[in-house]
Structure 1
Amino acid sequence: MDHSEPVASDARDLHATVPSADAHGAQHALSLRINGRPHTVHIDPWVTLLDLLRDRLDLTGTKKGCDHGQCGACTVLVDGRRINACLTLAVMQEGREVTTVEGLANGDALHPLQQAFIEHDAFQCGYCTPGQLCSAVGLMNEGEAASRDDIRELMSGNVCRCGAYPQIVQAVGEVMGIEAPANPYRRIVIGTVPA
């Protein structure tokens, strides 16, 4: 066994023994617009859009939940379409327009969805709210939802561990002008009903 190579005693040491991409000149100059402002950053090719936003640009509204694309807490808009920022490499967004929750408001005026979330108490702990809001804006841009059931289905990639789903659907439906069903609490009977 050759003992001339450094041995990593834990994960931090392992990363310390790997040369950075910058040492080899492999960092990429990335130019994109974020929340309407141009940015040029030099990043390693493996940096996710989520890590670029949070760690390099201090846009911490976008949350790191599962880091596997399963919870939707990291949802942002790229050219108006919703994506999970944890699943895309930042270098793939060259020249694109990225919108985070910080970019939804217009100055002091909240985005209509932000205002509706407040009015409908569509959040509890608030951790998922930035992703829910960006996903809802993307949903509106897509123009596919025609009912509150559609909203529920098309927002199903965003998990709310507090269970604020009814209020989220109410808020999104209100902004989209989709009426609530006449009887949202319809009775569902399983099996036979005694006479």
Structure 2
Amino acid sequence: MSRPLGVILAGGQATRMGGGDKGLLPLGDGTILSHVIDRLAPQVAGLALNANGDPARFDACNLPVLPDSIADFPGPLAGVLAGLDWAAVQGAGTIVTVAADTPFFPRDLVARLLEVAQDMTHPLVLAATPRPDNERTRSLSRSGLIRHPTFGLWPVALRDDLRAALNDGLRKVVLWTEKHDGREALFDDPGDPFFNVNTPEDLQQARAMRKDSA
């Protein structure tokens, strides 16, 4: 399987941070988004950013900016579709998506997703982590893992099916991946490899984590 293209999903509305772009918040010597780019770029054949609104605010990233093609902020699947449409123009067969507010995801994310997808006709794999003993609120997969729907490997071949599902009102990622027999790649790394910044308190924690890893 050839190297996928990468798409950073930044199309959310960041309501718990008072709006704006979480990815542009300062972190260490850059921004959250710059750390995401630094982690993903070496793992993929090319990179784009899914975001809505004025693309000029991301000029410093020097990446193609892909807006949702489905109106009214329908969620991460719209960003996945935008990425798949872009990848189709590039002649690519797959994309890997990551979230713009998650600066510490694994540096071997793509390799581990591809490993799980080796024998799949349509490579469709979500990242997943074990459920902590005290975690009782998140929905679990059939295997008892917590899925991370913004971190996945997606096949360009299913983009028209995804478009039809979104136009029919589908919004939940896992309903679509389960329909197509999607798999899960287990990431049982120490700590939370998919820690994301949703609140001001999360941002302070991310800054502390960044200092500890520097």
Q: TM-score, normalised by structure 2?
A: 0.29
Looking at CA atoms only, which structure, 1 or 2, has the larger radius of gyration?
1
Flag the structure with higher strand content: 2
Structure having greater relative contact order (Cα 8 Å, sep ≥ 6): 2
